[in-house]
Amino acid sequence: MKFNFQPRDGAALTPEHLVDIYLDIRPKLERVIGKRLGSTSLAADLAQEIFLRIPTIKVALNSRADAERYFVRIAMNASLDYVKVEKRRSAILDASGSIFSYAPPTPEAECLAKDDIRLVEAALRELPPKCRDVLLLSRIEGLSHDEIAHRLGVSRSLVEKYAVRALLHCRQRLKQSAAES
């Protein structure tokens, strides 16, 4: 059923005309999508979604050729969008697998973690009080550097220096312990 209507005086095709054109070229749209996605059933689903978009088309399509090009472009974009969404969905599912696969720590891992905590606590005791306070306020209480500066009555720059000093000191103590083991 070749639809050959040409609107008069630059008038756009109506939704009814677009439906007729779509029905005529749907097999072509399914082939375009199917080639990109490798699935005929998925191609049929996406082609159906294109059909459902016809009432929302706001672009003035003045000829059958314009409408065909427009539908093919929608089909190509739909297949690209599908691939992007599936990649994101796959990444989310891969990442969520680790969330739900909880394995309680082994006694050895618990012992090592407790040792690390003791080492960090000892390292913190070695620091000057304000330096230690900056790290605890930042990491334990979750305060920003500006909030810590206000609370301790020091500059933001000094808070940043204290934080770096405290972190480096704790890291150094942990490395020393690991090297001795």
CATH of the domain at 96: 1.10.1740
Number of compact structural domains in the chain: 2
Q: Distance of CA 164 to CAs 63, 120, 152, 158, 168, Å?
A: 67, 15, 17, 10, 6
pLDDT tens column, 132-145:
999 899 988 889 99
Within the chain, what is the greatest distance between any pair of CA atoms?
88
The pLDDT, as a whole number, for residue 26 is 96
Q: Please tell me whether the overall predicted TM-score, pTM, comes out greater than 0.85 for this model.
A: no
Domain hosting 142: range is 107-170
The pLDDT, as a whole number, for residue 18 is 93
62 belongs to a structural domain: yes
Q: Is 103's pLDDT higher than 80?
A: no
Which band of pLDDT confidence, cut at 50, 70 and 90, is reported for residue 116?
confident
> What's the mean pLDDT when you consider all of the chain?
88
Q: Is 9's pLDDT higher than 70?
A: no
- ∠ at Cα 84 (83, 85), nearest 5°? 95
- ∠ at Cα 172 (143, 112), nearest 5°? 85
